[in-house]
């Protein structure tokens, strides 16, 4: 740290400026903003989530409000519209807020409304991944992994540009948020980030080609699911299809086409 140009004190060359207010663009600015916002939310009665530092929860007199923040992008929802409106009004008196209305797009995730249900879709995000990988016009396939394509360390020559592999697989990890059907295939690809080979890249391209043909799939969140574990499938060849789980707390969600019917788990 040093004194900024034009504000140098020759009599105190070892002194530096003490900022009383964070400046936009400095490394500490996001942290200072989050601290200030957190204090304001706690004063409104919110409590921070123990599992997610960016989630704040208000539970008072039957009103339940969730407040999710990512830097300066915010989602607020709850079971009482009056309480939500009051919170927005009080925050607007403290900060310069812009109400974007009903949620439609957040951090690469598109929210499609189907009655009282929601479908989370990442069509635009996946298209961007395909474009960066040079596979925007690739031929689609119907499965995320090839049954006979085994990925092993040192199974083929190393890639000349491993950064491309790492960037693509990293992007696919975020895509699993609304596409759990590729989670296993992406997990396999993640195991070779340190030294990806041509065979590993072929496996990643297989995932991308599958996404190309299933762009309209998304995660269906039902309003009245409750805590009943449910499973769905587009299988038509086995009328005695059964599903099993050792989960005692999670609620299963479904992969659907926002414009059509339910497709698969």
What is the full per-residue pLDDT of the chain (265 aa) written as tens digits?
Answer: 778 788 888 898 888 877 777 677 777 778 888 888 899 999 989 998 888 889 999 988 888 999 998 887 888 988 888 999 999 989 888 888 888 888 888 888 888 888 888 888 899 999 999 999 888 888 998 888 887 777 888 878 888 888 999 999 999 999 998 888 889 999 999 999 988 999 899 999 999 999 998 888 888 887 776 556 556 665 555 556 666 665 554 444 555 555 554 444 4
Is 73 within 8 Å of 107 (Cβ atoms)?
Answer: yes
Total number of residues shown for the chain: 265
Cα torsion angle, 10, 11, 15, 16, sign: negative
With residue 165 as reference, give the H or E element that holds it.
helix 162-175
CA distance 71 to 106: 12
This prediction's pTM? 0.70
**Which letter, b or e, does each residue of 155-187 get, where b requires 16 or more Cβ atoms within 10 Å of its Cβ?**
eeeebeebebbbebbebbebbbebbebbeebbe
């Amino acid at each position: 740290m040093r004194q900024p140009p034009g504000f140098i004190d020759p009599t105190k060359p070892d002194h530096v400026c003490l900022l009383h207010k964070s400046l936009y663009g400095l490394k500490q600015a996001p942290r200072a903003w989050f601290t200030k916002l957190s204090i304001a939310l706690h004063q409104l009665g919110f409590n921070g989530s123990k599992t997610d530092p960016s989630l704040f929860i208000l539970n008072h007199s039957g009103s339940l409000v969730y407040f999710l923040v990512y830097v300066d992008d915010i989602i607020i929802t709850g079971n009482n519209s009056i309480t939500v409106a009051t919170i927005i009004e009080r925050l607007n008196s403290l900060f310069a807020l812009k109400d974007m209305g009903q949620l439609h797009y957040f951090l690469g995730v598109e929210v499609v409304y189907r009655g009282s249900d929601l479908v989370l879709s990442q069509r635009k995000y996946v298209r961007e991944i395909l474009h960066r990988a040079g596979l925007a016009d690739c031929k689609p396939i119907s499965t995320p992994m090839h049954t006979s394509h085994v990925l092993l360390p040192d199974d083929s020559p190393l890639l000349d540009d491993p950064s491309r592999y790492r960037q693509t697989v990293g992007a696919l990890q975020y895509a699993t948020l609304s596409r759990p059907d590729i989670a296993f295939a992406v997990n396999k690809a993640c195991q070779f980030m340190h030294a990806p080979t041509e065979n590993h890249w072929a496996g990643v391209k297989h995932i991308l080609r599958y996404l190309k043909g299933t762009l309209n799939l998304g995660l269906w969140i039902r309003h009245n699911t409750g805590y009943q574990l449910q499973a769905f499938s587009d299988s038509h060849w086995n009328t005695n299809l059964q599903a099993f789980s050792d989960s005692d707390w999670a609620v299963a969600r479904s992969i659907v086409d926002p414009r059509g019917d339910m497709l698969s788990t």
